[in-house]
């Protein structure tokens, strides 16, 4: 009978001995899984920040092109004034130039602020807060794009009105 209990005791001792390492292995696997998830989240967020930067750069280039085109149109209107009736339009041209200059300055300030905001987001340690900040910045970029387009369209309308006045002068 003792022989029957001895193999069972050995088996029980063996199982008890490997249970502790199996538990440790399970905990280590859980820790590794969590670490992989954290790394994946961080990697995804870094990619999102990179995409935000690239999108912002593209939008900045588009804005710059639009502003340059508007500036050329305004310069052309200024050059086209040759007669006395055109002198009446000078204040309107100057006002439009001021509006365009203000838009350029505002966009420069926004560019710097966005870059600083992206840097802050990148340094954020809490992944949930970082993701929230990324979403907020994406919304802000959309609102800024619409606002800038509206302002640019208003300036373009002023230019078109001035151009039409210039063409309709006797």
Q: What is the pLDDT along the chain (170 residues), one digit of tens a residue?
A: 445 567 777 777 776 666 666 666 677 778 888 889 889 999 999 999 999 999 889 988 988 998 898 888 888 887 776 544 555 567 787 888 888 898 889 889 989 999 999 999 999 999 999 999 999 999 998 998 899 889 889 988 988 888 887 777 65
Give ∠ CA 150-156-157 in degrees, rounded to 5.
90
Q: Is the dihedral of CA 126, 127, 128, 131 positive or negative?
A: positive
Which run of H or of E encompasses 36? helix 2-80
Find all residues with CB under 8 Å of 106, minimum gap 6, and list them.
none
Residue 19's pLDDT is what?
67
Between CA 158 and CA 92 the distance in angstroms is 9
Residue 85's pLDDT is what?
56
Considering the entire predicted model, what is its pTM? 0.66
Between CA 59 and CA 141 the distance in angstroms is 9
The token duo for 4 is 């029957």
Residue 1's pLDDT is what?
45
Radius of gyration for the alpha carbons in the chain, expressed in angstroms and rounded: 33
Find all residues with CB under 8 Å of 155, minimum gap 6, and list them.
70, 96, 99, 100, 103
Evaluate whether 74 touches 96 at the Cβ level (below 8 Å). Answer: yes
């Amino acid at each position: 009978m003792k022989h029957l209990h001895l193999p069972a005791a050995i088996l029980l001792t063996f199982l008890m001995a490997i249970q502790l390492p199996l538990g440790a292995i399970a905990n280590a696997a859980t820790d590794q899984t969590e670490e992989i998830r954290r790394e994946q989240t961080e990697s995804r967020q870094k990619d999102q920040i990179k995409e935000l930067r690239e999108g912002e750069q593209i939008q900045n280039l588009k804005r710059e092109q639009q502003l340059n085109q508007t500036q050329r149109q305004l310069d052309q209107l200024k050059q086209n004034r040759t007669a006395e009736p055109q002198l009446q339009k000078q204040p309107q041209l100057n006002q439009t130039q001021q509006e365009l200059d203000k838009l350029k300055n505002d966009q420069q300030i926004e560019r710097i602020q966005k870059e600083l905001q992206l840097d802050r987001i990148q340094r954020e340690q809490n992944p949930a807060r970082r993701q929230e900040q990324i979403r907020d910045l994406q919304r802000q970029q959309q609102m800024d794009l619409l606002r800038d387009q509206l302002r640019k369209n208003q300036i373009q309308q002023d230019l078109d009105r001035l151009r039409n006045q210039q063409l309709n002068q006797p």
